[in-house]
Amino acid sequence: MAAITTIPVRPETRKMLEPLKGKKTWDEFLRELAELKREKLKDDLKKLGEIIDVEKIKRAESWAR
C-alpha cells in the first residue's frame, strides 16, 4: 500500500467539501478536483492564445492599411 499523508484543513472547509465528495474517498475526490483544475487551465490558456492571435491579426490588418 502506498504511503498516506494528512492535509490540514479548517473544519468549515471540510464541511463545505464533504457534500461534493460524496461517496468517493478523499484521495479520489482530490485527484478528480486536481484533474478538473488542470483541464480548466489548459482550456483557459487555449482561449487566451486564440484571443492573442485575433489581436495580432487585427493589428496586422490596421498596419497594412
Band (pLDDT 50/70/90 cuts) for residue 65 is: low
**pLDDT over threshold 90, residue 23:** yes
- The reported pLDDT for the residue numbered 56 is 78
CA 43 to chain centre: 9
- The reported pLDDT for the residue numbered 36 is 97
| Section 20-24 average pLDDT | 97
Tell me the pLDDT tens digit for each residue of 31-63. Answer: 999 999 999 999 998 888 888 887 777 777 777
- Helices (H), ranges, 1-65: 11-21, 26-64
